[in-house]
Amino acid sequence: MKKHIAIVEDEPALRENYAAALARHGYGVKTYGNRKVAMQAFSTHLPDLAIIDISLEDEAEGGFDLCRDLRALSAELPIIFLTARDSELDAVSGLRLGADDFLTKDVSLPHLAARVAALFRRIDALRRPDHASDVVRRGALSIDGEKMQTTWNGTPVTLSLTEFWIVHALARHPGHVKNRQQLMDAANVVLDDNTITSHIKRVRRKFQQVDAAFDAIQTVYGMGYRWVE
């Protein structure tokens, strides 16, 4: 079945480029230039995945509103924020609104496609609950690579797709230092050092919400990070 992706982006050139790339991967793509048009379309027919820019035409945070409305329509619909803004605050706000991933526009089209594919894969995996999936266990941590779900001591930890891939990359080889480049590659993103740092910070905080004593991700200053058991 053909998956339908909605792209809400006010920059036509970018919109068309994304649409063309995703269409090439076999997705049905619909593009919208602003929140109003997009919402009208969504109210009659929900897409399988939405890629939303934060600032839409004259609405500086129109994407956030759209995300909130969309989440109200569907709890499971994967939402990806794609924005030129890379501030911490935007990322935090976006993810708190229930987005599955927060990407800056630096992301390359293949990476974007990989991400979209991964999100669809997760939805499929979730729909097949008994499927013996590829689970990595590291002490209290368990990572389900198929469903892209993480639990700590059995409690689910909600990670964005980027965060999930970072944790996955670290936990797969405990004790090994992963430098920032390696983590970026694993997460299919091109990020600067600061963003990696804030991703790590966010990941730690999410684990610490589950277990205040969480200390498994260690910073190796000047090199990168490693998972310690």
> CA torsion sign, 191 to 194 to 200 to 206?
negative
- In angstroms, the Cα distances linking 139 to 154, 179, 206, 214 are 11, 23, 17, 12
The angle at the Cα of 89, spanning 84 to 95, to the nearest 5 degrees, equals 85
Q: Using DSSP bridges, classify how beta strands 224-227 and 217-220 pair: parallel, antiparallel or unpaired.
A: antiparallel
Specify the stretch interacting with another protein by CB under 8 A; choose among 18-26, 69-77, 126-134, 181-189: 18-26
Q: Which of residues 71-110 bind another protein (CB under 8 A)?
A: 84-85, 87-89, 104-106, 108-110
Applying CB under 8 A, the site for another protein has a residue count of 29
Among 153, 155, 181, 194, binds another protein (CB under 8 A): 194
Shorter beta-carbon distance to another protein: residue 134 or 192: 192
Q: Is 17 in the site for another protein (CB under 8 A)?
A: yes
Min. distance of Cβ 120 from another protein in angstroms?
19
Distance CA 3, CA 171 (A): 31
Shorter beta-carbon distance to another protein: residue 110 or 156: 110
- In angstroms, the Cα distances linking 186 to 20, 148, 168, 171 are 25, 14, 8, 12
Among 57, 76, 124, 192, binds another protein (CB under 8 A): 192
Shorter beta-carbon distance to another protein: residue 87 or 155: 87
Comparing C-alpha atoms, which of 189, 210, 213, 209 is closest to residue 199?
189
Among 158, 182, 198, 208, binds another protein (CB under 8 A): 198
SS3 80: strand
Q: Is 182 in the site for another protein (CB under 8 A)?
A: no
Q: Which of residues 126-155 bind another protein (CB under 8 A)?
A: none
Q: Is 219 in the site for another protein (CB under 8 A)?
A: yes
40: Cα separation from own chain's centroid = 25
Binding site for another protein (CB under 8 A): 11, 13-14, 17-18, 20-21, 24, 84-85, 87-89, 104-106, 108-110, 192-194, 197-198, 219-223
